[in-house]
Amino acid sequence: MLTDTPDSAPAQSLEVPGARLHYEVRGQGPLVVLVGAPMDAGAFAPLADLLAADHTVLTTDPRGINRSPLDDPEQESTPELRAGDLARLITHLDAGPAVVLGSSGGAVSALALAQEHPELVRTVVAHEPPLIELLDDRAQLRAGTEETVTAYLGGDVIGAWKRFFAQAGIAVPEPVVEQMFGGDRDARQVVDERRWFAHEMRATTYWAPDLARLRAVPCRVVIGVGEDSAGQLCDRTSRALAQALGTGPTVFPGDHTGFVDAPKEFATALRATLQDG
């Protein structure tokens, strides 16, 4: 989901093929990258501030989202493109190999980065990647995704979000959905939301990781799940990925957005996970 959290670090930008990436750097020490998709850098600001006590922390708006404009606004947002952007940012900072925490679509970006540029990564923490291709009911989930996208692009914004939350297994009362996504809304958030439905959701959720490559990469791959996400779609996909990689999931505080809702507890859990490795 999209959030609207203020940033607390100076803005910088990097020109990359087809886009200009907004990014922020905090602190000093080993490099940690925090990334979402479609979540922008603002969602990670509280967690980044905590980790910056002893790390260099990189956050970024994914290409096409908020402050990272595209040359072609209709370009599809694929995990491979976003992984290439992360590789360029890490190389630009010359501070790798990095720990990369990706959440939701950002977790898919981080896994693609581990596949394509493992030399730039020390540890990937993939927190609740929505990889529906790993599930037995993937055909039904694909159909549900297509219905959701069609509803949104056809103008039924509230109906699309209701479908989205139902498929995700996230209980949001209908009046809350109507309050969140009806009436007057922030124009920037609407633009980013439409891009996600039109150009990002399919490419992210339909992405199939190369399991053999992920098992063979020299970097550590950790699959994270929220302790409050039991039974939700991203809990199922994360556990399926962990099983396919021959490992178990690592439990983090909160649910799909635990790093937003409880950044202090999430930072403590992340530090413990990195120390265990």
What per-residue confidence (pLDDT) applies to 168? 97
Contacts of 146 by beta carbon, 8 Å cutoff, 6+ apart: none
pLDDT at 253 > cutoff 60: yes
Q: Do residues 91 and 120 make contact, with C-beta atoms less than 8 angstroms apart?
A: yes
Q: Among candidates 158, 150, 86, 160, which has minimal Cα distance to 121?
A: 86
Block residue for tokens 């990014």: 23
Given this model, what pLDDT does residue 44 score? 97
Q: Does the pTM exceed 0.85?
A: yes
Pairing of strands 98-103, 56-60: unpaired
Does residue 55 register a pLDDT over 70?
Answer: yes
Percent of the chain topping pLDDT 90? 94
pLDDT tens-digit readout, 197-216: 999 999 999 999 999 999 99
What proportions of the chain, in percent to the nearest 5, are helix, strand and coil? 50, 15, 35
Instruction: Please report which residue ranges of 182-257 form alpha helices under DSSP H.
Output: 187-195, 201-205, 211-216, 233-244
> What are the C-alpha distances in Å from 87 to residues 118, 148, 154, 221?
10, 32, 36, 17
- The secondary element (H helix, E strand) that includes residue 147 is helix 138-153
pLDDT 10s digits, 216-231: 999 999 999 999 999 9
pLDDT at 10: 81
Could you give the residue range(s) of every CATH 3.40.50.1820 domain in the chain? 12-135+208-276
What's residue 1's pLDDT?
47
Residue 183: pLDDT band by 50, 70, 90 thresholds?
Answer: confident
17 confidence band (pLDDT: 50, 70, 90): very high
166-181 pLDDT per residue, tens: 999 999 999 999 999 9
Question: How sure is the predictor about 238, in pLDDT bands with cuts at 50, 70 and 90?
Answer: very high
Q: What is the pLDDT of residue 3?
A: 45
**CA gap 113, 115 in Å, rounded:** 5
Q: What is the pLDDT of residue 9?
A: 79
More confident residue, 191 or 9: 191
Residue 277 — pLDDT band, cuts 50, 70, 90? low
For 114-133, write each residue's pLDDT tens digit. Answer: 999 999 999 999 999 999 99
The mean pLDDT of 262-266, rounded to a whole number, is 98
Q: Which fold has domain 12-135+208-276?
A: Rossmann fold (3.40.50)
pLDDT at 4: 44
